[in-house]
Amino acid sequence: MIETRGLSHAHPGGPALRFEDVAVSQGGTLLLRGASGSGKSTWLALAAGLLTPQAGEMIVAGQAVALQKPGERDRWRARCIGFLPQKLFLSEALSVAENLALVYFASGQPVDRAAIQRALAALELGALAARKPSQLSGGQAQRVALARALLLRPPVLLVDEPTASLDDAACAAALALLQHGAAQTGATLVIATHDARVVNALPAAPVLNFRAIHQEAAA
Ligand code: ADP
Ligand code: MG
């Protein structure tokens, strides 16, 4: 479940971003749609507790995100938020399987090697567990990042521009994997996108439209 009220944020020196209120039930899908620079990634960072809003409140997976203490918030994020960022942030120092193992360290839980293998196998990545991220295709790397995001079966899956550089077939495949992954874990799925193909492919999903920001002076 995700609910916002009167949410706004401005990055230092950036425009004031005001977000429409939204309520998504557990297991639902929400699309954040708008032009580049309209605030979609900022909204996702607020939902993940990576930023604290200047005003308003945001309840994500039962938690008022801004009210948590920093340590609590990091642990909550590791357990409750699956994040598939636009830039994947896979560590080149580690194998695919070790990249997934980091999730357990972040959440303070013992590493479950069998669960890592299952998560990789579910995305047809089992044979690639020992590879380094640079030895993967772009699509494989994105699937590794999705496997990482879903590993702890988080109640919320946040996805930033998953289809930006994909052709039509890869776009459809990526969306199918996201929906399947969210359905398997019962996660609420939020996809930020400026790609009309995503909106067309998910006609039943509510859309939060982000208006283009015309360099409104920050307070
Ligand atoms: P979108 O994801 O829709 O492209 P963003 O959330 O990335 O939009 O950015 C919204 C606005 O905030 C833009 O005007 C952008 O320049 C500004 N912005 C984003 N991140 C920062 C930052 N770290 N510092 C200052 N301004 C930022
Ligand atoms: Mg963005």
Tens-place pLDDT, residues 97-149 = 999 999 999 999 999 999 999 999 999 999 999 999 999 999 999 999 999 99
Distance 149 CA to ligand 2 centre (A): 18
Q: Is the pLDDT of residue 214 over 70?
A: no
The bound ligand whose nearest atom lies closest to the alpha carbon of 38 is 1
The bound ligand whose nearest atom lies closest to the alpha carbon of 51 is 1
Locate the ligand 1 atom nearest the alpha carbon of residue 34 and give its number: 3
Q: Is the pLDDT of residue 200 over 90?
A: yes
pLDDT at position 183, please? 95
Locate the ligand 1 atom nearest the alpha carbon of residue 45 and give its number: 6
Distance 196 CA to ligand 2 centre (A): 15
Mean pLDDT in residue range 22-36: 95
Q: Which CATH architecture has domain 2-89+154-218?
A: 3-Layer(aba) Sandwich (3.40)
**For residue 22, what are the CA distances in angstroms to 19, 43, 155?**
9, 11, 17
Q: Is the pLDDT of residue 5 over 90?
A: yes
Cα-flanking dihedrals φ and ψ of residue 29, to 5°? -120, 140
pLDDT at position 216, please? 52
Residue nearest to atom 23 of ligand 1 (CA): 11
User: Is the pLDDT higher at 154 or at 219?
Assistant: 154
Q: Where are the domains of the chain?
A: 2-89+154-218
Ligand 1 contacts (CB < 6 A) are 11-15, 17, 34, 36-42, 210, 213
Residue 70, classified by CB atoms within 10 Å of its CB into exposed (0-12), middle (13-18) or buried (19+), is: exposed
Rg (CA), the chain: 17
